[in-house]
Amino acid sequence: MSLVIETKDLRRVYTSKTGAEVHALRGVNLRVETGAFVALKGRSGSGKTTLLNCLAGLDKPTAGLAMVLGRDVMQMSDAEATVWRREQIGLVFQSFGLLPTLSAFENIELLLRIKGDAHEARRARALECLEMVGLGKWKDHRPYEMSGGQQQRVAIARALANNAKLILADEPTGELDSKTTRELLTFFRELVEARHITMLMVSHDPLVDGYVHEVLTLKDGQVVG
């Protein structure tokens, strides 16, 4: 059994504007195996986004250990974390995070350009990823010309473009109706199984239980089950 994510007693303490300490993560012990599709639930404020940000190297834990894809996230500099994230992790957000003035194709291609891929390689890869999510025909459409479900698929295609082995998704279905949510969850499940991707998905939608391999719950900054 190999682990894609392992945290030990992970803590994140913020200092609020008034100087009070906010203990967002209070000793998180998390183990996610390769190829698992895991949902992370919990009330608003329970620390879900903080945990995801710490795992992606977007935020620095205060204490504890966080191993992600074999790397000790706390030992990385910001610059190292940026490159590592770009090359190894796919991030998906509730608000899709697409650039509104760019087409679906350009949204993906831009990421590959930043990564430094050559012109032809990145064009081919962008198209391949759009086809993977069933949106090849929509490549020249801009986000506002697409449904919410389609926009989220573009965001997923972008997350996959770097051959990410781990996808971290923060409430990816939060803006979608239940029919579209079901379609997207089916797609996620197939993606995880067909491509041996590992996915940790924050959601408080009860629908997700029927699609994931495991449901974890955060409560007051700790995993309770």
135, burial (CB in 10 Å: exposed 0-12, middle 13-18, buried 19+): buried
DSSP letter at 8? E
Cβ closest to Mg ion, residue 162 vs residue 203: 203
CB of 48 to Mg ion, least distance (A): 5
Cβ closest to ligand ADP, residue 45 vs residue 134: 45
Crossing angle, helix 104-115 and helix 78-88, to 10 degrees? 130
What is the C-alpha separation between 225 and 210, in angstroms, rounded? 17
CB of 44 to ligand ADP, least distance (A): 4
Report the C-alpha dihedral over residues 81, 132, 112, 165, rounded to 10 degrees: 20
In the list ligand ADP, Mg ion, none, the entry touching 22 (Cβ below 5 to 8 angstroms by class) is ligand ADP
CB of 110 to ligand ADP, least distance (A): 27
CB of 79 to ligand ADP, least distance (A): 21
What is the C-alpha separation between 158 and 104, in angstroms, rounded? 9
Cβ closest to Mg ion, residue 135 vs residue 216: 216
Which stretches of the chain bind ligand ADP, using CB under 6 A? 14, 16, 22, 24, 42, 44-50
What is the C-alpha separation between 173 and 178, in angstroms, rounded? 9
Question: Which residues ranging from 19 to 58 are in contact with Mg ion (CB under 5 A)?
Answer: 48-49
Cβ closest to Mg ion, residue 49 vs residue 150: 49
